[in-house]
Amino acid sequence: MKKWRGILGACALLIGQVAGAQVQDMPGGPKVNQLNLHEGVTQITRDVMWLHWMLLTICIVIFIGVFGVMFYSIWAHRKSRGHQAATFHEHLGVEVAWTVIPFIIVIAMALPATKTVVAMKDTSSADLTVKVTGYQWKWGYEYLDGAAAGVKFLSTLATPRAQIENREPKGEFYLMEVDNPLVVPVDKKVRVVLTAADVIHSWMVPDFGVKQDAIPGFLRDAWFRAEKPGIYRGQCAELCGKDHAFMPIVVEVKSQADYDKWVGEQQKKMAASADDPNKEWTEAELVARGEKVFGANCVACHQANGKGVPGSFPALDGDKIVLGPKAEQIKTVLHGRPGTAMAPFGGQLNDVEIAAVISYTRHAWSNAGKGQDPTVLPKDVAAAR
């Protein structure tokens, strides 16, 4: 009796906990208790939803029909009522019917499905083309045409590392926020051309009905025409290493006027921040700049404290390359280490950024004042390219 009371008590506690659990809507994902598919903001997502219900309905009708006849036959024609097994062996009519009917059903399902898949792949006559590059672990966006041609930036996770490490989700968009979202105009056909610089990533935004692998050495494309301004979220959908879960996608769809304004701001920003490699950079300027570059590009592996992750990512604090002659470190950062997670940064960062981040690592932590060549200038990097 006592034992049962204990078990019942435990069950009640468990049910209470589950019922009272804090369930949250997933930003860009399903709502709590959402049963239907996610309704997006493009024609493709509506087509996909329609297909889903159409196919499901056909399947249910077939299911009820087949199982209805089966269970009725088992019940109504059972042996105890004196029924004999029927033989319609080699009955031409039945055999033709059970070949032709399923064939017609399959074609009826395949035609609209194929139409939608073809529409998804039709990236012709786009209003705007953006190149999307997957990196471990961030996204690069580059506008290839239109007024924004030449605008290019990296989009990294904006949730602070400390929050992630302490596992204390804060705010509505925990792990789903980025520093620089992709910005596109409403009601325009946007073509995204995808590739990756290291491993396979996948650019997925459910609200647009887009999910396309980004593969190193290949270009793949997809498109969307968002019909409603707003902020839409997605994630990398291909297991791509340690921080796979930390490369969210944020797309801001703006009205044409707001988009034009944004493009204007981007162009101004580009002009203002254009790193002039001929400028005389002081040591302090380079180190300050390098700390930012390090925070955006290197901390995921080498960590903010420079200690790396033993066994996976080497420490840069006290590292012999960082304390050694500058040429070796310039080479490592520019060209990476083929076959390891250390990517070539030559294509992502400009000479000033590379010189700055190297100078920073040579001044940071316990490296300060220890090694040779503490400051690396943009012209050193330019010469090594």
Between strands 220-224 and 190-196, the pairing is: antiparallel
Q: Name the binder of 197 from ligand HEC, Cu ion, none, CB < 5-8 A by kind.
A: none
Residue count, binding to ligand HEC (CB under 6 A): 22
| Least spacing, CB of residue 55 vs ligand HEC, in Å | 41
Alpha-carbon distance of 331 to 337, in angstroms, equals 9
Provide the CA 353 distance to its chain's centre, in angstroms: 26
| Least spacing, CB of residue 302 vs ligand HEC, in Å | 5
Q: Name the binder of 58 from Cu ion, ligand HEC, none, CB < 5-8 A by kind.
A: none
Q: Name the binder of 236 from Cu ion, ligand HEC, none, CB < 5-8 A by kind.
A: Cu ion
Q: Name the binder of 314 from ligand HEC, Cu ion, none, CB < 5-8 A by kind.
A: ligand HEC
> With b meaning 16 or more CB within 10 Å and e meaning fewer, what string describes 129-145?
bbbbbbbbbbbbbbbbe
Residue 110: phi and psi, rounded to 5, are -75, -35
Q: Looking only at residues 7 through 26 of this chain, which bind Cu ion when binding is defined by CB under 5 A?
A: none
Q: Which is nearer to Cu ion, 203 or 259 (CB)?
A: 203
Which residues make Cβ contacts (< 8 Å) with residue 213, sequence separation at least 6?
194, 200, 201, 202, 220, 238
- In the chain the first and final C-alpha atoms are separated, in Å, by 80
For residue 144, the SS3 value is: coil
By CB under 6 A, which span of 144-152, 223-231, 294-302, 362-370 interacts with ligand HEC?
294-302
Q: Looking only at residues 330 through 349 of this chain, which bind ligand HEC when binding is defined by CB under 6 A?
A: 332-333, 337, 340-342, 345
What Cα–Cα distance (Å) separates residue 107 from each residue in 54, 99, 114, 115?
A: 13, 13, 10, 12
**Per CB under 6 A, 300 contacts ligand HEC:** yes
Select the residue interacting with ligand HEC from 138, 233, 302, 362 (CB under 6 A): 302
| Least spacing, CB of residue 139 vs ligand HEC, in Å | 14
Letters for 103-122 (x = contact with Cu ion by CB under 5 A, - = none) are: --------------------
Q: Which is nearer to Cu ion, 185 or 234 (CB)?
A: 234
**Beta-sheet strands, E only, within 246-350:** 248-254
Q: Based on C-alpha coordinates, what's the Rg of the chain?
A: 29
Select the residue interacting with ligand HEC from 126, 205, 286, 298 (CB under 6 A): 298
Residues 190, 171 contacting (CB under 8 angstroms): no
Select the residue interacting with Cu ion from 48, 159, 185, 201 (CB under 5 A): 201
Residue count, binding to Cu ion (CB under 5 A): 4
DSSP code of residue 216: B
Select the residue interacting with ligand HEC from 155, 156, 266, 329 (CB under 6 A): 329
Alpha-carbon distance of 159 to 153, in angstroms, equals 18
Where along the sequence are the contacts to ligand HEC (CB under 6 A)? Answer: 136, 297-298, 300-302, 313-314, 316, 319, 321-322, 329, 332-333, 337, 340-342, 345, 357, 361
